[in-house]
């Protein structure tokens, strides 16, 4: 019995049976949730493929997947001869090709619609069974070279965006970052760049900065030690960003410009120079914002007045420099939708889509 894959590989386009997408992708998607024609962006993409009579087949049970599920992707198999036409077809519906190292037999296409990331993974069918047998005979070397390729830079220009989420304690940075990690169906790396809190010290030494008596030399050494620690962490992040990963920073060293004034003038000037001029600035900065009493009610740390002062410092320091202010008082899904759109925009800029 001839399998669908054999028909896909070897039959000419005129004689091969056309593989239709399942009805739930075309007919029953709620148009109010997705917009567009034919039940949404994904359904419209498959309509475009069918309209050009492009042969494909679903993989991994993708015909049963609900496209409304956050972070889902549709897997298909496609004839290599059909790739140019297929890419042109899905591009008409807003899908862009996502270059990914180490995946030579896959083409990934991304779109963004109303806060949702949509992904089509098109696996290229092998033209003969001989190459498939050779691949299965030597799986270990293939996996090794694939792992090496996944770590190589995609291009001379960095393709992965670095996005920082800032805000006072209780703003919801960790929650939003975890939602982004779960719902963005592409390679994503999270860096935590917060302070190592000592149980006997205040989390924010700016409360009593004037009352502390610290030598200027000692405090300058502390500033440089902090900077070296952050540079080391950021180096790992930028290396994976060069491989195409989206890098999300939970906090960032540039927060020192807003909430960590030094006790001595020399250390304060050094901190402004090192963290403001020498520290790599993220591609996009988001300030998660809420009133001080709301921040205190969420986490119960510090007091509402201190959190309100921190809130104003974040706004006054970073918004004039291009940071995006995202309110977190309208519900977690509304906050996520804004943050997700911001990450998509940063990816578009880095990929030049």
Q: How much is the pTM?
A: 0.80
Largest Cα span, the chain: 84
**CA atoms of 281 and 275, how far apart (whole Å):** 9
Domains, the chain, in order of start with CATH, read 4-150 (no CATH), 162-351 (3.40.50.300)
Q: 286, 273 in Cβ contact below 8 A?
A: no
For residue 155, what are the CA distances in angstroms to 32, 96, 280?
Answer: 39, 17, 20
Helix or strand (DSSP H, E) at 76: strand 73-78
The pLDDT of residue 217 is above 80:
yes
Q: Exposed, middle or buried: residue 187 (CB in 10 Å: 0-12, 13-18, 19+)?
A: middle
pLDDT digit string (tens) for 57-71?
998 887 666 666 666
Which of 30-44, 145-159, 232-246 has the least mean pLDDT?
A: 30-44
Token reading at 22: 């399942």
pLDDT digit string (tens) for 151-192?
566 678 899 999 999 999 999 999 999 999 999 999 999 999
The number of CA neighbours under 13 Å toward the Cβ of 211 is 4
Nearest to 279 by CA among 245, 237, 240: 237
Q: Phi/psi class of residue 132: alpha, beta or left (left: φ > 0; alpha: ψ in -120 to 50)? A: alpha
């Amino acid at each position: 019995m001839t399998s669908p894959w054999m028909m896909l590989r070897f039959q000419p386009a005129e004689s091969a049976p056309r593989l239709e997408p399942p009805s739930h992708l075309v007919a029953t998607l709620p148009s109010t949730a997705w917009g567009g024609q034919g039940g949404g962006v994904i359904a419209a993409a498959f309509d475009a493929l069918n309209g050009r009579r492009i042969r494909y087949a679903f993989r991994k049970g993708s015909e049963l997947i609900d496209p409304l599920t956050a972070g889902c992707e549709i897997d298909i198999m496609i004839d290599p001869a059909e790739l140019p036409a297929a890419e042109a077809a899905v591009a008409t519906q807003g899908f862009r090709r996502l270059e990914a190292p180490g995946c030579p037999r896959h083409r990934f296409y991304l779109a963004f619609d109303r806060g949702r990331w949509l992904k089509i993974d098109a696996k290229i069918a092998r033209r003969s069974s001989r190459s498939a047998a050779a691949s299965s005979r030597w799986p270990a070397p293939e996996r090794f070279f694939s792992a090496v390729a996944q770590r190589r830079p995609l291009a001379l220009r960095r393709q992965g965006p670095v996005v920082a989420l800032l805000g006072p304690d209780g703003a919801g940075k960790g929650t939003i970052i975890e939602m982004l990690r779960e719902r963005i169906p592409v390679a994503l790396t999270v860096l935590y760049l917060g302070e190592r809190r000592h149980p006997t010290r205040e989390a924010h030494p700016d409360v009593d900065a004037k009352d502390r008596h610290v030598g200027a030399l000692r405090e300058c050494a502390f500033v440089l030690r902090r900077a070296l620690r952050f540079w080391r962490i950021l180096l790992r992040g930028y290396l994976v960003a060069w491989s195409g990963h989206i890098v999300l920073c939970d906090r960032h060293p540039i927060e020192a410009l807003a909430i960590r004034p030094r006790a001595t003038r020399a250390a304060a000037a050094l901190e402004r120079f090192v963290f403001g001029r020498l520290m790599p600035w993220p591609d996009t900065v988001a300030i998660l914002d809420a009133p001080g009493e709301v921040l205190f009610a969420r986490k119960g740390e510090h007091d509402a007045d201190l959190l309100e002062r921190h809130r104003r410092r974040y706004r006054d320091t970073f918004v004039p420099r291009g940071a995006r202010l995202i309110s977190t008082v309208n519900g977690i899904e509304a906050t996520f939708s804004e943050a997700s759109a911001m990450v998509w925009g940063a990816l578009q800029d880095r990929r030049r889509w």
